[in-house]
Structures are given as C-alpha cells and as structure tokens.
Amino acid sequence: MSTATIGFIYPDHAAEDDYPRAAGLLGVELPVAHIYGTDLHAVPELLDLGSPEKLRKGAELLAPRRPDAVVWACTSGSFVYGVDGAREQVRGLAEAAGVPASSTSFAFVNAARALGISSVAVCASYPDDVARLFVEFLAREGVSVLSMSSAGIGTAAEVGTLTAPQVLELAVANDHPDAEALLIPDTAMHTLEVLPELEAALGKTVLTANQVTIWEGLRLAGAVPDAAPGLGRLFAERLIHAGD
C-alpha cells in the first residue's frame, strides 16, 4: 500500500468529503486546501477561480503537508482556459508547488487514455455554454463526445446538494448507448459513494470528477495503491502509472 501524500486545491465547499472517503479506501494521504471565489458556473467567474494567484495560494496552503503531487480539483476552472491555457495553468501550479501538478480536466483525458477509451458521453451539471467548452477540450485531446447533456445548474453549492439517487438518475438519463464511458465533470458533485451503482446500472465505465482527480494525483506521484473496486473500474484495474 502506498504512503503517498497528494495535495488537492479545491474551490469553495461542496463535495470535498469525497477525498477523505477515498483516502480511507486507498490508504494514502489526500489533504485538501480550499480557495475561494464566486461559485457561479459562468466563464468570467471560472477564469477568476482558476487564476495563477488563487492557485499559488492553494499551493502555499498545501506546502506544510509536503505533497508528492498537487492537483487543481476543478474541471470547469481548468477547461474554461482551453487546452493551451490549461497546460499553462498546470505549469504555473507545478512551479508554485515545486512538485508535479495537473488539473481535473487533464485527469479525465489521462484516465480515458489509460482505459483505452476514445468515445464518451458527457453528463454535465453546468449550463450549456460551459458544458460545451468541456466537449471542445476533450475533442482537442482526442476524446470523441457522442452526446452531451447540461443540467443547467448555476452554482457549485447547488450541485453539492444532489443526493446519490439524484446523481444516479441524472447519469442513467444522459448516457449514450454507443459511448464506451460516461463522464460526469464536476468536483462539486458527490459521486464516490455511488460509483459502483452507476457502473452497474449503465453497464460501462463511469468517470467522475473527484474520482479522476484523485487518480491523476496518484499517477503523477507514481503511487500504485491496492485495487479499490469501490472507486470504479478506474481503480479496480490498478492502471496508475508514473509521469506523463
């Protein structure tokens, strides 16, 4: 069992309790530092949320924990910058933290690649204009999106109140029969407790924001925990690899 410490910079408060849940299953340290901004799912606010200044602050808050890697645990606050901007965002974070860094948007791409998945359905909580930016991000990274749904939820705080049955209902209603996996891109949504049920109901891989964010941090640190099927196929198959 790995003893890695992975630091996460998490915006405001919503579903951060997914991280101690995963830490208990994996036997690793997953400390979370919070940064704050307006939690609207709107482009100007998301650009501010993922700004270099805010991420540097997050890195400073995590520094006493001496993390082996740091991940910006926010999908919309990374893909809203586009692929090139998101790469620069991660580069700046790695420089500030002094360790390898990534973001949830790249975590989705890397997890899909690790599983050999090239076509997906996207079940987004965001308004349509924001959700479409995620689709564009995935397409630029070679992931084909067969369908995209947007629940139109305006704030992260509201997403954080969705119950497990509501998350399951949302996922089942917005899958695509030809997609190899369903992607649920919002770290404000509680998904870890319902992952096995989601994959059983859909009969396919489900990748969710907090799940892939945790996996990405472990991948960056070169940490390979014991298989944890309670965290979905991504963790059941021990597919974590070091480096990019």
Same domain for 94 and 146, yes or no, is no
Same domain for 97 and 23, yes or no, is yes
Residue 30 is predicted with a pLDDT of 97
Residue 40 is predicted with a pLDDT of 76
Please report the beta strands in 12-150, taking only residues with DSSP state E, as ranges in sequence order. Answer: 32-35, 69-72, 101-103, 119-124, 144-150
Kindly report the CATH number assigned to the domain that includes residue 49: 3.40.50.12500
Kind and range of the H or E run holding 91: helix 82-97
Domain extent at residue 102: 6-107+210-236
As given in the structure block, the two tokens for residue 193 are 């407790």
Query: Nearest 5°: phi and psi at 121?
Result: -110, 145
Same domain for 13 and 97, yes or no, is yes
Does the residue 242 lie in any domain? Answer: no
Same domain for 82 and 153, yes or no, is no
pLDDT digits (tens, 9 = 90+) for 183-222: 999 999 999 999 999 999 999 999 999 999 999 999 999 8
pLDDT digits (tens, 9 = 90+) for 15-73: 999 999 999 989 899 999 999 988 778 888 998 989 999 999 999 999 999 999 999 99
Does the residue 11 lie in any domain? Answer: yes
How high is the mean pLDDT of the chain?
Answer: 92
> Which residues sit opposite 121 in a β-bridge?
147, 182
pLDDT digits (tens, 9 = 90+) for 149-162: 988 887 878 888 89
As given in the structure block, the two tokens for residue 93 are 């974070």
How far apart, in whole angstroms, are the C-alpha atoms of residue 244 and residue 240? 11
CA 242 to mean position of chain CA atoms: 18
How large is the average pLDDT for residues 73-90? 97
pLDDT digits (tens, 9 = 90+) for 108-147: 999 999 999 999 999 999 999 999 999 999 999 999 999 9
Q: How many domains is the chain partitioned into structurally? A: 2
Name the CA dihedral angle for 36, 162, 17, 182, rounded to a multiple of 10 degrees. Answer: -100
Same domain for 40 and 95, yes or no, is yes
Residue 145 is predicted with a pLDDT of 98
